[in-house]
Chain A
Amino acid sequence: MIHIFDGAMGTILQERGILKSGICPELLNIKHPADIINVHKAYINAGSTIIETNTFGASRIKLAHFGLEGSTREINMAGVKNARVAACNNAKVAGSMGPTGKFIEPLGDLTFDEAYDIYLEQASALAEAGADYILIETCIDLQEMRTALLAAKKAAPNIPVICQMSYSEDGRTVTGTDAQTAAITLEAMGADIIGANCSTGPEQLLPIVKILAKNCACPISIQPNAGMPHLINGKTIFPMSPIAMAKWAPKLISAGASFIGGCCGTTPNHIAEIKKALYNSPDPIRIKPTSSLALTSRTKTVFIGIDMPTRLIGERINPTGRKKLAAEIKNGSFISVKKEAVEQTNAGADILDVNMGVGGIDQPAAMEKAIKEISQIVSTPLSIDTSDPQSLEAGLKAYPGRALINSVSAEPDRLKYFIPLAKKYGAAILCLPLSDKGLPKTAGDRITILKKIITHAKEAGLKDNDFILDSLVMTIAADKTAGCEVLEALNLYRHEFGYPSTMGLSNISFGLPNRPLVNSTFFAMCLAAGLDAPIMNPYDTSMQNTLSAAAALIAKDPNGQKYSLTASKQQSTIVKEKNIPKNILTAIKNAIINGEKENVANMVEQALKEGHSSNELTEKALSAAMNDVGKDFGAKKIFLPQVMLSAEAMREAFLKIKEIIPAQEIANNGTVVIATVKGDIHDLGKNIVAALLENNGFKLIDLGKDVANEAIVRAAIENDADIVGLCSLMTTTMTQIDSVISSLKKAGSKAHVIVGGAVLTQEYADNAGADAYAEDGVIAVKLAKNLVQNKL
C-alpha cells in the first residue's frame, strides 16, 4: 500500500503570516492551534494519508533557544492533538522529531545519554498523546539517528518508527554515512520504516531509494524538497513546481518507496499532484536483500559471507600479553590503540577486534573511549571483545554503526546479558561453541552448542544474517584430532546453518616447533573448508601470503588477479646491493649525502680504527658531505627534508666520534646560542637551524621558543657565545629581534648575531643591526662558519 505524507509546514505558516521571525514555530501548537489544524487539513484535503505533527524542533534542546525547554511535553502533546483533530480518523499521525542541532561525542559535545534523554522525553510525549508513528527525520549523523531510534523504541515500543536521514548530492550524509550503511544499521536496530528527506530534490533522492530498497526488507519512505533552494529578494524559494515534482513520484515508487511526501518548499498543491500521479499506482516490487552478514561503521559496510572475499579480523587491539599497551590503556592514553587501528587497517584488516581487558581499570569507560577514538580515525567496522556486559553496552552505545559482538557462548550469563544487547543495538554476534559443560571435542558437539545459542538468539528476535560461527580451534599437541575437528566443523557449519564462519588460528600450533609453518598450512586448509573471516594478526606476512594464494585457489580471487599484483610487487622490491666505495672516508661522505644513518656509526668506527683522526674525518667526510648537500640545496636539487636526513646521518657520526675520542680532541667550530624570540611560539625554523649547526661541529645552546631578551643575553655572556641565532616568524614578534640585538650590545656581548624567520628580510636584518641574515638553515650554517673564522 502506498502512503502519502504531507509537505512543509513552516513555509506555509510564514506565507500565511502566522509564523513571524523570531517566534518558535512549535509554540503555535499551543498559541494558534486552529492555524496548525488548518494546514494539516489542507494536506489531508490534498490527499495525505499521513500528516506530520508540528514538532520537528520541539526537543528540549531546540526549545531552549526560545526559553521553552520547560514546555517540551506540553508542546509535543499539543502537536499530536492538533494533528488528531485535523485527521479526524481520515489520516494517520506521525510524531515528528528533528535533529537536536548538536553532534554527539566525539563529533560534538553532546553525550549519548543526554541525546537519548532529550529524544526519550519528546518521543514519550508524542506517543502518549496518540501518535501513530514516530518519525525521526532530517538526521545527518548516524549516531544521532541511532540514539533517537533507541529512545523512540523505548518510549513507544508498539508504535512503528520511521527513520529518515538527509543525504547530500554525493549520496552521503554530511558526516559521511551512505544509504547502504544507514539501511543495514537502522534495520538491525529495529527501525520499522527507513527513508530519506530534505537536502535535495526527488531526482537526487531516486538513487538513494534504490540503495535503501536493496539493503533492507522494511518499507521505504521518501520526502524530497521541491528542488534546491534559491534566495530571491531575501526569501528562500524552492523552484520545483507541483507538476514537475509529481513526475518523479512514480519513479520513486517503482524504485522501492511506499511512503512518499514532501519536505522543504512543498505545499498541498505538490501533494495533490503527487497523489494524482500515483493514482492506481501498484505497490513497489521489492527484491529480498542479500542474506549475508553485514557489519558497518559510520561510513562503510563490510559483508561477510560464502560468496564474499575472505575478511580479515585484526586481533591486535588487545592488551593481553602486551604490557606496554596495557599500561597505556591504564594511564588513559589511547595513542597505541589508535596506532594499531590505523596500521592494521593499512595492513588489510577488514574488521578490527577491540579488547580492553586490563585489570584494575574502569573497563566500560575504557571501551567507550577506545570505540569513540577508533571510529574517528578508521572506517573499518569493529568487533567488541569483552566478557563484561557493562563494557559491551558502553561499546555498543558509543559505536556509530553495526558492530560484531565477540563472543556469545552458551554459558548462561552470555545468553542472558549479551543477546538482548545485540538485539537492542543491532549488533551481529560471533557464536562460540562453548558451554558451562566444558569444551566440545567433536564437530558434532560444536553444532549442538551453536544450535542452542542460535535458538536462544532467534527467540530474542535476532535474524539469520546476525550470526557468524566460531570453529573453536584447540591445540593439536594436546589432541591429535583437534585440527580435523575444526575442518569438519567448518564443513558442517556450511550445511547445517549456512552462516559465515570465523576462528582464531594460532591455538592450533601451541607447543610445536616452527609454529608459523603449522599456522599457515592450517590456515590454507581452513580456507578451503569454508573459513570466511579469520581472526589474525594482519602484519603476519606469511599468513597474508597464504590468504592471497588461497583466495586465488578457491576462486575468491578470479584468475589470481590480486595475487599476481601482490606477488609481483614483492618480487620487485628486492633491494639491490649497493656499491660501497672502498675508501672509508668517501663511503662516510656518501652515506651522509644520501642520509643513510644506519651504517654511519660503524663506518666512523672503522675509519678511526684505520687511523684517520677526528679532524680528518670531519674535514674530508662530514664537512665535505655537508658542503655538497648545501650546494645541492642551493641549486634546488634537493630539499629541506633531504638535508635533514643528512643531518641525522651527521648526528650518528658525531655521536660515535664523541663516544670514542676525548672531548678536547674533537674540533669545535664555536658556541652558538639560539632562540625564538619572546612572543613567538613557532620554532620549526629554529629547530632546523639548531639541528644543522649542532651537526656541523658547533656547540649549541638551544634556549627554545618564546624566550625573554634577558635570558638570551645572559646565555650569550655566560657561555661566551661566538654566535647568537635569533628567529622570529611573525610580524608581531619581529621587533623583538631589534630589542635583543640592542640588549646584547648594551651587555657587551661580542657574539655575532644571525637572524632569520619567515617575515624577516636582509633589509630588516641590516636595520636591526644584525651581523647576518639567514634565508634558510643551510645558509645559516655557512654564515656561522664564516663569521666564526673571521672572528678568530
Chain B
Amino acid sequence: MPIYNAPLKKVDQKETRRYAGLAIADFDENFIIDACDEIVYSATPRGIWNMYNYDNIHGIVLADKDFQITGSKILNHLSHCQKVIIMAVTIGEVIEKSIEMAFNNGTYSHGLLLDAAATTAVEQIADALEKNIDPKANALGYKRIWRFSPGYGDWSITCQPQILKLANAEKIGIHCTSSMMLTPRKSVTAIIGLVPQTDPFSPEKPSCQNCSQKNCPSRKVTNKNF
C-alpha cells in the first residue's frame, strides 16, 4: 500500500486551455496562469497504489478477495498483463470550495478555468504516481501500459467501491457516493497493466475520435469533427 503524494509545482497551461475548451481560442494567457497558480497553492495532492497479480485469461485481479473485471475494452487492454496496479489520486477538497466561491462571487470565467486547471492537476498527479511505479515494475522486468479508469469505454463505474478498496484509497481520503462518484470530486482511480518488457504488446491509446462525447469542450482540436 505505498503512498506517494507527488509534488505539484506547475499546472500545465496548455492542457488547462484544452479542458476549458479554449484550445483554439485567442484568450488572455494571464487568466489561465492565475487559475493554474491558484491550483498549485490550494491543492493537496495525494496518491496511493497497490500491485496485484492478474489472471489475464479470466480477467481477474488476484487479491484477498478476487476482483472480476468486466468490459470488453478493458479486458482486451489487460490481455497481456501479468500484474496490475490499482491506483487512486486526488488533489483534495479545497479546490471545490475555490470553484464554488468563484461562481458565488461572480468571477465565473475564473471558476471555469479553476475547474479545468484542477482536472489538469489531478491528471498530472496520476502521471507522477505512474512514473513513481516504474522503477519497481522495471526491476521486475515489466513495463506499464497506459492507465485505464472506470467509466472509460465499457468499463462501468459501478466497480469504484472495489477499486477504492484495492487501492486502499480511503487512506488518502477518497470515497465513493452511492451513485459511484468519487469524492473529493477531483480524484482519479485507475488500473495500470504491467506487461513483460519483452512483450511487444502495446494497446491502442484512447482518442477523442473514439469517444462518444462529441460535444466535449476538451475534445482535441486535431479532430476535424470539433
Interface on A for B, CB 8 Å cutoff?
101-103, 106-109, 140, 166, 168, 174-176, 198-199, 228-232, 235-237, 264, 298, 335, 338-339, 341-343, 346, 375-379, 595, 636, 638-642, 644-645, 647-648, 651-652, 679-682, 684, 687-688, 690-691, 706, 730, 732-733, 758, 775-776
Taking A175-B132, A377-B9 as given, write out 17 further A-B residue pairs in contact, using a Cβ cutoff of 8 Å, ordered by the A residue number. A102-B3, A107-B7, A108-B5, A109-B3, A199-B138, A199-B139, A232-B141, A298-B7, A338-B41, A339-B41, A342-B37, A346-B37, A644-B111, A684-B99, A691-B108, A730-B179, A776-B215
Q: Tell yes or no: B113 within 8 A of A by CB.
A: yes
Interface on B for A, CB 8 Å cutoff?
2-9, 20-22, 25, 27, 31, 37, 40-42, 45, 94, 99-100, 103, 106-109, 111-113, 115, 131-132, 134-135, 138-142, 157-158, 171, 177-181, 183, 185, 196-198, 213, 215-217, 226
A residues within 8 A CB of B103? Answer: 687, 690-691
Known contacts A168-B135, A642-B25, A687-B111; A681/B37 CB under 8 A: no
A residues within 8 A CB of B41? Answer: 335, 338-339, 341-342, 377
**B215, closest chain A residue (CB):** A775
A659 to B183, CA, bound (A): 40
**B114, closest chain A residue (CB):** A684
**A237-B141 in contact (CB<8A):** yes
Known contacts A376-B7, A640-B21, A732-B181; A231/B106 CB under 8 A: no
A residues within 8 A CB of B140? Answer: 229, 231, 236
Known contacts A231-B198, A232-B198, A339-B41; A642/B27 CB under 8 A: yes
**A640-B20 in contact (CB<8A):** yes
**B4-A103 in contact (CB<8A):** yes
CB distance from A728 to the nearest CB of B (A): 10
A103 to B47, CA, bound (A): 11
B residues within 8 A CB of A106? Answer: 5
B residues within 8 A CB of A101? Answer: 2
CB distance from A612 to the nearest CB of B (A): 23
- The residue that A595 contacts in the complex, of B3, B20, B109, B157, with Cβ under 8 A, is B109
B residues within 8 A CB of A377? Answer: 7-9, 40-41
- The residue that B139 contacts in the complex, of A229, A342, A645, A776, with Cβ under 8 A, is A229
**B5-A107 in contact (CB<8A):** yes
A641 to B30, CA, bound (A): 13
A168 to B137, CA, bound (A): 13
CB distance from A604 to the nearest CB of B (A): 15
A residues within 8 A CB of B180? Answer: 730, 732
CB distance from B113 to the nearest CB of A (A): 6
A-B contact pairs, 5 of them (CB 8 A): A335-B41, A377-B40, A679-B179, A681-B183, A730-B157
**B20-A231 in contact (CB<8A):** no
Known contacts A232-B198, A691-B103; A638/B141 CB under 8 A: no
**A641-B177 in contact (CB<8A):** no
A681 to B179, CA, bound (A): 9
**A681-B40 in contact (CB<8A):** no
A272 to B100, CA, bound (A): 66
Known contacts A229-B197, A688-B108; A174/B22 CB under 8 A: no
- The residue that A168 contacts in the complex, of B20, B40, B134, B158, with Cβ under 8 A, is B134
A residues within 8 A CB of B94? Answer: 335
**B226, closest chain A residue (CB):** A636
- The residue that B179 contacts in the complex, of A264, A338, A680, A758, with Cβ under 8 A, is A680
**B36, closest chain A residue (CB):** A342
Known contacts A108-B5, A236-B141, A595-B109; A639/B27 CB under 8 A: yes
Known contacts A341-B41, A376-B7; A733/B179 CB under 8 A: yes
**A230-B198 in contact (CB<8A):** yes
A641 to B29, CA, bound (A): 12
A581 to B40, CA, bound (A): 41
**B135-A342 in contact (CB<8A):** no
A706 to B108, CA, bound (A): 21
> Which 7 pairs between the two chains have the least Cβ-Cβ distance?
A231-B141, A338-B41, A679-B179, A644-B108, A231-B196, A644-B109, A236-B141
Known contacts A376-B7, A379-B9, A758-B213; A640/B112 CB under 8 A: yes
**A679-B177 in contact (CB<8A):** yes
A residues within 8 A CB of B22? Answer: 639, 641
B residues within 8 A CB of A236? Answer: 139-141
A77 to B161, CA, bound (A): 45
CB distance from A726 to the nearest CB of B (A): 15
**B25, closest chain A residue (CB):** A639
B residues within 8 A CB of A107? Answer: 4-7
**B109-A645 in contact (CB<8A):** yes
A458 to B171, CA, bound (A): 47
**B21-A641 in contact (CB<8A):** yes
A residues within 8 A CB of B134? Answer: 168, 174
**B181-A680 in contact (CB<8A):** yes
**B8, closest chain A residue (CB):** A377
CB distance from A97 to the nearest CB of B (A): 18
A581 to B37, CA, bound (A): 36
**A681-B25 in contact (CB<8A):** no
B residues within 8 A CB of A298? Answer: 7
B residues within 8 A CB of A680? Answer: 179, 181
**A229-B185 in contact (CB<8A):** no
A676 to B160, CA, bound (A): 21
A residues within 8 A CB of B142? Answer: 231
CB distance from B16 to the nearest CB of A (A): 10
- The residue that B112 contacts in the complex, of A376, A636, A644, A652, with Cβ under 8 A, is A644
CB distance from A485 to the nearest CB of B (A): 40
**A731, closest chain B residue (CB):** B157
A343 to B22, CA, bound (A): 24
CB distance from B139 to the nearest CB of A (A): 6
A residues within 8 A CB of B141? Answer: 229-232, 235-237
A residues within 8 A CB of B112? Answer: 640-641, 644, 684, 688
**A681-B185 in contact (CB<8A):** yes
A residues within 8 A CB of B157? Answer: 730, 732
**A231-B197 in contact (CB<8A):** yes
A101 to B139, CA, bound (A): 14
- The residue that B3 contacts in the complex, of A108, A376, A378, A688, with Cβ under 8 A, is A108
**B27-A684 in contact (CB<8A):** no
**B185-A682 in contact (CB<8A):** yes
CB distance from B122 to the nearest CB of A (A): 14
A681 to B181, CA, bound (A): 8
- The residue that B109 contacts in the complex, of A228, A230, A641, with Cβ under 8 A, is A641
- The residue that A639 contacts in the complex, of B7, B21, B178, with Cβ under 8 A, is B21
**B20, closest chain A residue (CB):** A641
A residues within 8 A CB of B138? Answer: 199, 228-229
A residues within 8 A CB of B185? Answer: 681-682
B residues within 8 A CB of A108? Answer: 2-5
A residues within 8 A CB of B135? Answer: 140, 166, 168, 174, 199
A648 to B140, CA, bound (A): 55
A residues within 8 A CB of B108? Answer: 644-645, 647-648, 687-688, 691
B residues within 8 A CB of A690? Answer: 103
Which of B41, B132, B180, B181 lies at the interface centre, i.e. has the most chain A CB atoms within 10 A of its CB?
B41
CB distance from B43 to the nearest CB of A (A): 9
**A264, closest chain B residue (CB):** B139
**B2-A102 in contact (CB<8A):** yes
B residues within 8 A CB of A339? Answer: 37, 41
**B5-A638 in contact (CB<8A):** no
CB distance from B220 to the nearest CB of A (A): 14
B residues within 8 A CB of A636? Answer: 226
A775 to B215, CA, bound (A): 8
A residues within 8 A CB of B139? Answer: 198-199, 229, 236, 264
B residues within 8 A CB of A237? Answer: 141
A586 to B178, CA, bound (A): 51
A residues within 8 A CB of B215? Answer: 775-776
**B113-A641 in contact (CB<8A):** yes
CB distance from B147 to the nearest CB of A (A): 17
A367 to B113, CA, bound (A): 32
**A648-B183 in contact (CB<8A):** no
**A103-B179 in contact (CB<8A):** no
